[in-house]
Amino acid sequence: MKQAPHLAASVAAVFVSIMAGVAFTIYANLFEEKYVHSVAALEHIEIIKGSAIQRVALQQDDLLVVYGGSEIVLLQTRYQAYRFFSTYPTGFNVFDVANKGASALTMAQKVAALGEDVRGKKVVISITPAIVTMAPLGEVNPDHYNANFSQLHALELAFSPHLSMETKRLAAKRMLDFPAILEDNLLLKFTLENLAGDSTTNRILYYLAWPLGRLQIAFVTLQDHYATTAFIRSHSSEELRVTRQPEEIDWSALAAKAEVEQIENTDSNSYGVDNLKWKQLEELFVTPIAAGSKDAEFIEDVKNAREWGDLEITLRVLHELGADAVIFSNPMNVQLWEKLGVSEEAQNAYYEKINSMVSPYNIPVVDYREYGTDKYFDMDLAAHTSRKGWVYVNQTLDKFFHGVLR
């Protein structure tokens, strides 16, 4: 030791750093546990690319973690689940992990990043028909995928000891379809390429990358804790206050009330489209389209949408990690799609496909198809949740949380 003071000193410095990291992690976990209910009631998009607060949320008896996309966040209303349940009227609140443009591939990575922490825990995966029925090739927009990409989640999936090689291989192949976001993540890119490859060399290189990958995950996890505690500290004690007010909810009366509000917000058109989205959609309805004339094209698009492959990856992840999951899907907006030449019968192709995809995994699907003809469940063509729709969704969330969803 005396002959090699630099070696001894560097080892000591690394040891002290590791201990400091461990101490900070313990502190951050306690801090996150203290404020996780506050975070649930706040918009917290700043930290959904991490996993720290999600892990803590999963451990709470009175939080239900919901993964989703724009259907969760687009319409800012008091009926949104995280606002509606913020006073714990029926004993719980939701913890949203949602952002505009998030697709099944993003959600697969988010859930995979939780590893064993999600086993046996109730989680909701919310999807909409939008990507499948409206996006080119039924595939997530690369800009949306890249914006929602999390280095931590991708690394956790790639180096997960809890997922099968086949699931990781399927995910890796899809993730490589979005190369731009991997440009700055050389280790991740290298790992995904070797995961996606079939040769023995690929397998050896993948395992050689494993220690580096776990090391990087450890660093990024510390950064995640730092970002989460900084996010919490950026709010005042008033903003972080949680109040609990148990109350009986008359769901029918609430739906009627929300419908009135929704109608008030659709006065720019006769289709029931929310004023927020009408400008974007109105030109689609200028020229009448013959009923059923687009059926064949629609059914073909639904059948071949790439989003299904990504949903398959999500389902595999949920299954292999043993999550107690449910899949929510907003309904097709029957009336609007009929105006665009797609009959109600053809629209059913979506429900048939999603149910046939999920069924082998014994995961329940709530597809709300009975509300497809309700003009005010969806706020637009892409099935974003309206005020009234939120009441139905909230009622289902309540049933799922309390174990009475049938």
Q: What is the nearest approach in angstroms of another protein to the Cβ of residue 351?
A: 19
Q: What is the nearest approach in angstroms of another protein to the Cβ of residue 147?
A: 4
Cβ 307 vs Cβ 353: under 8 Å: no
| Helices 165-175, 307-321: crossing angle, 10 deg rounding | 150
Applying CB under 8 A, the span of 45-53, 297-305, 342-350, 393-401 interacting with another protein comes to: 45-53
Does the protein bind another protein through residue 90 (CB under 8 A)? no
Nearer of residues 48 and 182 to another protein, judged by Cβ: 48
Q: What are phi and psi of 64, to 5 degrees?
A: -120, 120
Nearer of residues 145 and 401 to another protein, judged by Cβ: 145
Does the protein bind another protein through residue 182 (CB under 8 A)? no
Applying CB under 8 A, the span of 96-104, 106-114, 232-240, 391-399 interacting with another protein comes to: 96-104
Of 147, 187, 289, 405, which lies in the binding site for another protein, with binding defined by CB under 8 A? 147
Q: Which two tokens stand for residue 152?
A: 């931590």
Query: Whole-angstrom Cα distance, residue 167 to residue 163?
Result: 7
Query: Whole-angstrom Cα distance, residue 28 to residue 35?
Result: 11
Residues 235-274 vs another protein: string with x where CB under 8 A? ----------------------------------------
Of 280, 304, 356, 359, which lies in the binding site for another protein, with binding defined by CB under 8 A? 280
Q: Which two tokens stand for residue 204?
A: 């050896």
Nearer of residues 9 and 23 to another protein, judged by Cβ: 9
Helices (H) and strands (E) in the chain, counts: 18, 5
Total Cβ atoms within 10 A of residue 133: 22
Query: Whole-angstrom Cα distance, residue 84 to residue 62?
Result: 14
CA nearest neighbour of 97 among 136, 142, 61, 51: 51
Of 28, 36, 39, 48, which lies in the binding site for another protein, with binding defined by CB under 8 A? 48
Nearer of residues 45 and 291 to another protein, judged by Cβ: 45
Applying CB under 8 A, the span of 33-41, 117-125, 165-173, 217-225 interacting with another protein comes to: 217-225
Q: What is the DSSP letter of 21?
A: H
